[in-house]
Amino acid sequence: MNNHSDPQLQAFLDTATAGLGIDRELQLDVRAEIESHIQAAVEQESPDLPPDAQRANALHQFGPPEEIADQLVDANRKKMKTRARVRILFNAVIIPLALLVALASAWPILSHTGPARDFFALTSGFSDPDANPAGLLFLSANTSIRDILKLRKMSPIQRLIVYGDPGNEDRLAAPKAVWESDPDNRVYYAKYVLAALIQPRNPPNTEGADRLFEILEHAPLVDPDNALYDLIRAGVLLNNAAYVEAETIKNEQDGESTQQHKLVIQDRDQLNTAMSHFLAALEHPQLRRYHGEMLEKQLAILGPPTSMIQQINQISIAASVLLPDLAVFRELGRVSSLYGAELLRESRTGELSPNSLSPENLLHAWHRFGRLTAEDAFCLIDVLVTNAVVGFGSQEEEKALRGAGRIEEAEAVREEAAQITRTVEEWRASLKTPQNDEWKKELELRAGVLDRMLLPAVGHPKPDFQMDYLRRGREMDFVLIEKTTVTLLIGVLTAMMLVAFLLSLRWRFSSGVTALPILLQPRPGHMAAILGATVLGPLVAILFLRHFTPLSGTDYSIVIAWPRIAIHLCLLIAASTIGLAVYLTKYVIGRFRVLDLPTPMAFGKPFQVFAAISIGYLVISSLLPDALLRNGTGNVLAGIAIGLTALWLVGGAIYSLAVGLAARPEYGLFHGSLCRTAIPIFALAILFMGLVAKPYLSTQERRLLAWDTAQQEMASTGGFTALETHITKHLRNGILAGYEGSPRSNSNR
Amino acid sequence: MSINISQEWIKGTVVPIILKLLAEREMYGYEIIQEVQQRTNQALQWKEGTLYPWLHRLEGDGLITATWSNPEQGRKRKYYKLTRKGAAALHEQVEQWSKFQQAVSVLLLGINPA
């Protein structure tokens, strides 16, 4: 019996299911069921009867369609109500919520103006974010709206304190405004002065230097005991007064090269003035640059980091602390020593003003100067500059004393300097040991990105350093990559949802399609199966795998483990996009066949074979042991995975659009219904990613931040990492201990 | 011999009968009709169309579930099977029927309940 061309049967079915029209899928389902019954009844009729009679009997046995229609409505009322509520829930809540979640996730990436861009420019150190698109994408994918709103919550002064005013051509405007908000604040004043020092260090009598001197007039009132301001004045006066020329001399006997330094005097009067300020500075009880205090203030405004982006922000703030003073100190240290030596050589006395000291004072200034800078050492480079000042100054003093025949004094200077610089020299020597080389190799293999950047310079840690510290940094990298992938997936799924919406409209309004696309509503179990197999399952599996070390790749840094990471993420991306689309299509095809609606051909054999191979390849390669994935084999396997995924994504997109836009009109109902049915499922996938996966990863991020002891204790201890802080403290204390043992610890003579 | 049983009596037994049959195995609608007729020796002749509202009602109440057979493997049919809730309901209904039947038999047929 050809049911579709049987008008009597169709009319019967139309009447029997008329009351269910409000739920098209349900109506068609019941219709198909009744039709199946009629067919079975017809088959039981006597074969001697003509088809019309067989059908008439079957219909008669079934009963009056009007009666059945009422009963069917009554029996399905509850179901129709529930299904209607679900549709309303999706249309009114789930889909809009999914769009909001997608927007919240994508906004930092999409927004190239306003707070997001400011945030990136300020926090990443990218003065031009567009110059580093990959970095911008990574940062923005891991930035939440909360991070950006935190920026907005700052007061104008707080923002100036933390970030300055990079868009302002006048670089002194921000530090000036901060100081003027609290004119007695020594920290803000010091920042203002140092910012003025950053300007090209012009000779005096130029606008830049004049402005600086004007600012320095406030020093005696604001911070009278601080040596900093006399040192800065001396440094600026040194411009065009004198400079140090270095010449490398090779010893022809042993081939060793040494550097010889020579002072070139351009303006002796100005040099004398500079030196008098320098020596006056050394009379102050302390040298305070307040870098640590200012950084502490900045970080207090930001609050403890709750995301990696915030921590990167804080690290970049710390890293961007400018230390123009160090160049001044270094130059003053060298010039004073060389000038003192020259004066001694020429036995010229009385060159300086009445209150100044003898050439010996200049020669020995390194001793007091080194102590002042050591006491104020803020970070590792401070310590190293202090050590250089002590080393250079002591060598020049020793040389000058030997040249003057004062051998015993020269020896005393040498011993004293050796005592002071011992700790730093020992540490320096340790950087060249095989143990340090092993440490560097270990960092290459197992350190996270930030640790790889920050730790090599500090040398091998103490034996009690727990290698577990490195694991946290590594895990953080994995978490951030997963978070980035989830963010991008949200974007892709949103795009798929929007395209599905547009295509459903296209088929709705296109000519030749006589019925509204049907919204198929899979049962909860079906829905769970679709999402579980394509989105939830792979995502949960990959997040779970990260905790299972043999298959997670987390034993190694992401640089080493990248093949496994790439394969995992390819599997996730392929499953969540193409896998979801294919699974959904299969579901709709199955449903349409049950409902007796025109359906295009299902996926052909070649497609199914290729899909099985691709999935199989991705699953198997993701479970391979580290030994196979760590070398060149891993690169090849990962390359294949990436190529396969890209092929599926691009091919899938092109095919879907081609089919969706140019399919035959008789299949318009199918394509429109597929698109319409896909929308709520994509919405659920987006919600899962945005409200479950991403927050879970953020929780992991916070947990790792709290445990990542290699990345903590910044301003108050002066370093970026606990290791660097430890090394800085150790070296600084070593220098000061060397001073304590020195017979001339508090004297300039 | 066929006996015309009142529709009122039949209505009261449709649910337990459906549940009982589905407890044995999953069946589609027409098959249920055929089973009832065969096992009762045509004594119970349900109106075929009225079965489906009952099936849908029971499905809505969660006592049975339905699955379509694969249309590529022969004629498509919607099979129903009993859920756990349905099994519990069947048990209760059978107990009720047993007590009801005994009580009515005592009154109508004078059968001693002991």
Contact A243, A276 (CB under 8 A): no
Task: Look at residues B66, B62, B72, B70 and name the one whose alpha carbon lies nearest to residue B32.
Answer: B66
**Digit-coded pLDDT (tens) for A29-76:** 999 999 999 999 998 888 888 888 889 989 998 999 999 999 999 999
Residues of chain A in contact with residue B52, where contact means CB-CB under 8 angstroms, are 30, 33-34, 37, 68, 71-72, 75
Q: Give which of A13, A27, A29, A62 to mutate to test B binding, by max B Cβ within 10 Å.
A: A62
Say how far apart CA A737 and CA A36 lie, in whole Å: 97
Q: Sort A229 into a burial class: Cβ within 10 Å, 0-12 / 13-18 / 19+.
A: buried
Contacts with B71 (C-beta within 8 Å, 6 or more apart), sequence order: A593, A594
**B30–A36: do the CB atoms touch at under 8 Å?**
yes
3-state secondary structure of B27: strand
A40 touches chain B (CB under 8 A): yes
Say how far apart CA A8 and CA A684 lie, in whole Å: 43
Residues of B at the A interface (Cβ-Cβ below 8 Å)? 28-30, 47-50, 52-54, 56-57, 59-60, 68, 70-72, 75-78
Query: Which CA distances in Å does A658 have to A374, A376, A498, A651, A654?
Result: 71, 69, 16, 10, 6
Whether residue A416 is predicted with pLDDT greater than 90 in this model: the reply is: yes
Q: Which residue has the tokens 């049959």?
A: B21
3-state secondary structure of B78: strand
Contact A157, A177 (CB under 8 A): yes
Q: Can you tell me the mean pLDDT for A331-350?
A: 82
Contacts with A155 (C-beta within 8 Å, 6 or more apart), sequence order: none
The angle formed by the CA atoms of residues B18, B21 and B27, to the nearest 5 degrees, is: 90
Total Cβ atoms within 10 A of residue A561:
24
Residue A115: per-residue pLDDT: 46
Residue A114: per-residue pLDDT: 46
Residues of chain B in contact with residue A39, where contact means CB-CB under 8 angstroms, are 75
Whether residue A492 is predicted with pLDDT greater than 70 in this model: the reply is: yes
**B49–A32: do the CB atoms touch at under 8 Å?**
no
Q: Can you tell me the mean pLDDT for A220-244?
A: 92
**Which domains occur in chain B, in start order?**
7-109 (1.10.10.10)
Report the 3 state secondary structure along A613-645. Answer: HHHHHHHHHHCCCHHHHCCHHHHHHHHHHHHHH
Q: Can you tell me the mean pLDDT for A558-566?
A: 87
A145 φ/ψ angles, rounded to the nearest 5 degrees: -60, -30
**Digit-coded pLDDT (tens) for A602-640:** 778 888 889 889 989 998 998 888 777 777 888 999 999
Percent residues over pLDDT 70 in chain A: 85
Whether residue A194 is predicted with pLDDT greater than 80 in this model: the reply is: yes
Question: Lowest mean pLDDT: which of A408-422, A429-443, B76-90?
Answer: A429-443
Q: Which residue has the tokens 């300097």?
A: A417
Residues of chain A in contact with residue B29, where contact means CB-CB under 8 angstroms, are 33, 36-37
Contact A248, A227 (CB under 8 A): no
Residues of chain B in contact with residue A79, where contact means CB-CB under 8 angstroms, are 56, 59-60
3-state secondary structure of A250: strand
Whether residue A295 is predicted with pLDDT greater than 70 in this model: the reply is: yes
- Nearest-by-CA chain A residue for B69: A594
Residue A121: per-residue pLDDT: 57
Whether residue A158 is predicted with pLDDT greater than 50 in this model: the reply is: yes
Q: Which helix (H) or strand (E) holds B81?
A: strand B78-82
Tell me which DSSP letter residue A262 carries: E
Say how far apart CA A487 and CA A705 lie, in whole Å: 20
Task: Provide the pLDDT confidence category of residue A448 given band limits of 50, 70 and 90.
Answer: confident
A245 touches chain B (CB under 8 A): no
Say how far apart CA A696 and CA A251 lie, in whole Å: 64
Return the structure tokens found at A9.
């049967």
Task: Provide the pLDDT confidence category of residue A141 given band limits of 50, 70 and 90.
Answer: low
Whether residue A270 is predicted with pLDDT greater than 70 in this model: the reply is: yes
Q: Can you tell me the mean pLDDT for A519-539?
A: 91
Residue A718: per-residue pLDDT: 37
Question: Lowest mean pLDDT: which of A119-123, A185-189, A638-642, A673-677?
Answer: A119-123
CA distance to partner chain B, nearest, from residue A38 (Å): 9
Q: Sort A615 into a burial class: Cβ within 10 Å, 0-12 / 13-18 / 19+.
A: middle
Whether residue A326 is predicted with pLDDT greater than 70 in this model: the reply is: yes
Contact A101, A691 (CB under 8 A): yes
Q: Which residue has the higher pLDDT, A185 or A749?
A: A185
Q: Which residue has the higher pLDDT, A214 or A5?
A: A214
Residue A713: per-residue pLDDT: 46
**Digit-coded pLDDT (tens) for A648-661:** 999 988 988 888 78
Averaging pLDDT over each range in A189-203, A394-408, A511-525, which range is the top one? Answer: A394-408
Contact A239, A202 (CB under 8 A): yes
Residue A715: per-residue pLDDT: 34
Strand partners, B64: B82
Task: Provide the pLDDT confidence category of residue A142 given band limits of 50, 70 and 90.
Answer: low
**Digit-coded pLDDT (tens) for A405-415:** 889 999 999 99
Task: Look at residues A665, A654, A677, A648 and name the one whose alpha carbon lies nearest to residue A500.
Answer: A677
Task: Look at residues B16, B77, B37, B29 and name the one whose alpha carbon lies nearest to residue B55.
Answer: B29
Reported residue count of chain A is 749
Residue A68: per-residue pLDDT: 93
Say how far apart CA A30 and CA A24 lie, in whole Å: 10
Residues of chain B in contact with residue A34, where contact means CB-CB under 8 angstroms, are 49, 52
Whether residue B14 is predicted with pLDDT greater than 50 in this model: the reply is: yes
Residue A64: per-residue pLDDT: 92
Residue A202: per-residue pLDDT: 52
The angle formed by the CA atoms of residues A665, A656 and A4, to the nearest 5 degrees, is: 30
Say how far apart CA A316 and CA A122 lie, in whole Å: 9
- Nearest-by-CA chain A residue for B75: A36
Q: Can you tell me the mean pLDDT for A334-346?
A: 88
Domains of chain A by residue range? 7-83, 90-153, 483-709
Total Cβ atoms within 10 A of residue A578:
22
Residue A746: per-residue pLDDT: 47
Residue A34: per-residue pLDDT: 96
Average pLDDT, chain A: 84
Question: Strand B78-82 relative to strand B64-68: parallel, antiparallel, unpaired?
Answer: antiparallel
Residue A356: per-residue pLDDT: 52
Task: Look at residues A416, A415, A392, A396 and name the one whose alpha carbon lies nearest to residue A404.
Answer: A396
3-state secondary structure of A97: helix
Task: Look at residues A438, A389, A398, A440 and name the one whose alpha carbon lies nearest to residue A416.
Answer: A398
Contact A186, A223 (CB under 8 A): yes
Q: Which residue has the higher pLDDT, A625 or B114?
A: A625
3-state secondary structure of A50: coil
Residue A708: per-residue pLDDT: 57
Percent residues over pLDDT 90 in chain A: 40
Residues of chain A in contact with residue B78, where contact means CB-CB under 8 angstroms, are 32-33, 36
A63 touches chain B (CB under 8 A): yes
A465 touches chain B (CB under 8 A): no
**Digit-coded pLDDT (tens) for A540-558:** 888 887 777 667 777 788 8
Averaging pLDDT over each range in A56-65, A92-101, A236-245, A556-565, which range is the top one? Answer: A92-101
**A72–B53: do the CB atoms touch at under 8 Å?**
yes
Residues of chain B in contact with residue A75, where contact means CB-CB under 8 angstroms, are 52-54, 56-57, 60
Question: Lowest mean pLDDT: which of A233-242, A272-281, A506-515, B33-42?
Answer: A506-515
Residue A315: per-residue pLDDT: 74
Q: Can you tell me the mean pLDDT for A477-505?
A: 90
Say how far apart CA A709 and CA A127 lie, in whole Å: 30
Percent residues over pLDDT 90 in chain B: 53
Residue A130: per-residue pLDDT: 61
Q: Which residue has the tokens 């997963």?
A: A482
CA B48 to chain centre: 13
Q: Which residue has the tokens 């950087």?
A: A431
Contact A126, A132 (CB under 8 A): yes
- What angle, rounded to 10 degrees, do the helices at A7-16 and A51-62 form? 10
Residue B19: per-residue pLDDT: 96
Q: Which residue has the higher pLDDT, A87 or A205?
A: A87
Residues of chain A in contact with residue B18, where contact means CB-CB under 8 angstroms, are none
- In chain A, what is the greatest distance between 2 CA atoms, to the nearest angstrom? 140
Residue A124: per-residue pLDDT: 53
Return the structure tokens found at A575.
């499953």
The shares of helix, strand and coil residues in chain B, as percent rounded to the nearest 5, are 60, 10, 30
Say how far apart CA B48 and CA A41 lie, in whole Å: 10
Task: Look at residues A280, A173, A297 and name the one whose alpha carbon lies nearest to residue A220.
Answer: A280
Task: Look at residues A65, A20, A18, A19 and name the one whose alpha carbon lies nearest to residue A38.
Answer: A65
Residue A123: per-residue pLDDT: 53
Task: Provide the pLDDT confidence category of residue A134 given band limits of 50, 70 and 90.
Answer: low
Residue A514: per-residue pLDDT: 61
Question: Lowest mean pLDDT: which of A388-402, A667-681, A711-725?
Answer: A711-725
Task: Provide the pLDDT confidence category of residue A714 given band limits of 50, 70 and 90.
Answer: very low
Residue A325: per-residue pLDDT: 86
Return the structure tokens found at A466.
């727990």
**Digit-coded pLDDT (tens) for B28-57:** 999 999 999 999 888 887 888 999 999 999
Residue A317: per-residue pLDDT: 75
Q: Can you tell me the mean pLDDT for A650-674?
A: 87
Strand partners, A431: none
**Interface contacts (A, B; CB < 8 Å):** 72
